Amino acid sequence: MTSRQRVLAAFRHEEPDRVPINYSANEGIDQRLKVHFGVAKGDDEALLRALGVDFRCIGAPHTGPKLHADVPGRSIDLWGIHRRWVQHATGGYWDYCDWPLREATLEQVERWPMPSPDHFDYAAVAEQCRRQDGYCLCVGNPGLGDVINSTGMIRTMEQVLLDLVTDNGAGLRLIDRRLDIQLEVARRTIKAARGKADLLWLGEDLGSQRGPLLSPSLFRRHIRPRMQRFVDLGKAYGLPVMIHSCGSSSWAFDDFLEMGISIADTLQPEAKDMAPAYLKNRWGKRLAFHGMISTAGPVAYGTVKDVVRNVRETLETMMPGGGYALAPTHMLQDNSPTENVVAMYEAAKKYGAY
C-alpha cells in the first residue's frame, strides 16, 4: 500500500498492510536522528523516509510584510507571540514569554497586527502535493483552530480561561480575529491542493494530567462552536478531521463524534481515562486514534527493551480492526536517547504488520 492508502484505510477502521506511522520532535533530537541516519542537517524529507513516516503536512507559506518588530533575545512569530530560549541539561527550547496582550483592551486587540489571508503563497501548495504524492497529506496541525493554547501564548493561559468564564469581550475578540484568519487560510489551502489533501488536523488542549481543563458546559459554550466551523470546512471538502488534545481529554470524545470529528490525536496514556485499552474498548469502533507513545514514558526514561515492549503492547491493544496510527504523544523531547527513538520506529515497523 502507499502511505496515503495505508493511513486512510486505518482511519476507516480497516486493517492496512501495517500500522501508519507519524513523527514530531524538538530540534535537538531531530538533529541527532539525522546524524544517526547519515542525513544532511536540513533534509527533513530524508529523515521522514528513514523512519517510515506516512504523513506529510502541506501549507501556504506567508509572503506578506513583517508585522512585529524584533526584540533582543526573543523570537517573534506572525501573531506577535514572544519566545525566549531556555537551555536545559539535554538541550533547549523556545518558551513563551512577555505575553504582550495579557492586559489588552478591546481597542488594543483590534489594533494588534495579524496576517492577512491574502498574504500567503497558495500556489506553493500544488507543488508540495506533487512532490509528496503518495503520502497522507495533512492541512493544519495541533495549532489550527485552537482557542486556549495559542491564545494563552500571547495573553497567558490564566487570562484566557478567565476570558472564557467571564465572557470578556477583549479576550473573545482576540480569539475570533485569529480563528477567522486561520479558517480562511485553511480554506484557500485546501482549495489550492485541488483534491490532493487527505486530512484536516486541528488542536485544542482540553485536559490536565488529572482531568478536564475546563467544564463541559464551558467547552460547549465557547470552544465547540468555534471548533465546529473548522470541522464543517473539512467536511465540505470530504476530509476526515483529526483533533489534537493533550492531557485527560476523553471526556470530550462524545462531543467530538457529534461534531463530525473522526480521529483523536495525542492520547497521553498516563493521563486520567486515557489508557490504550480504555480508549479502544469504549470508542474504538467510532473513533480512530493517532498517538499513544508517550514522550514522558519509556522513550524518554527507559531502556531500548522498555521502548520495544511499550510499542509492542500498545500495538497489540490498538491495532485490531484498524483505527490506529502510531505517533509520539507530543514532540519527542531532547531528553529522549537517540537509540530509544530509533527503537521506537523500528519496533513500529516490526510489530505493526497486519
Which tens digits make up the pLDDT trace of 104-122?
999 999 999 999 999 999 9
Whether this prediction's pTM lies above 0.85 is answered by: yes
The set of residues, in sequence order, having a beta carbon less than 8 Å from that of 61 and lying 6+ positions away, is: 120, 121, 124
**Cβ atoms of residues 288 and 319 within 8 Å:** no
What CATH number matches the domain at 3-64+116-351, 3.30.450.20, 3.20.20.210, 3.90.730.10, 3.90.79.10?
3.20.20.210
Q: Quote the pLDDT of residue 337.
A: 97
Average pLDDT over residues 204-226: 97
**Cβ atoms of residues 319 and 351 within 8 Å:** no
Cell numbers that stand for 109 in this block: 486587540
How far is it, in rounded angstroms, from Cα 171 to Cα 102? 9
Which tens digits make up the pLDDT trace of 30-63?
999 999 999 999 999 999 999 999 999 999 999 9
Which tens digits make up the pLDDT trace of 55-108?
999 999 999 999 999 999 999 999 999 999 999 998 899 999 999 999 999 999
* Helical pair 123-131 and 169-192, crossing angle rounded to 10 deg: 60
Beta bridge partners of 91: 88
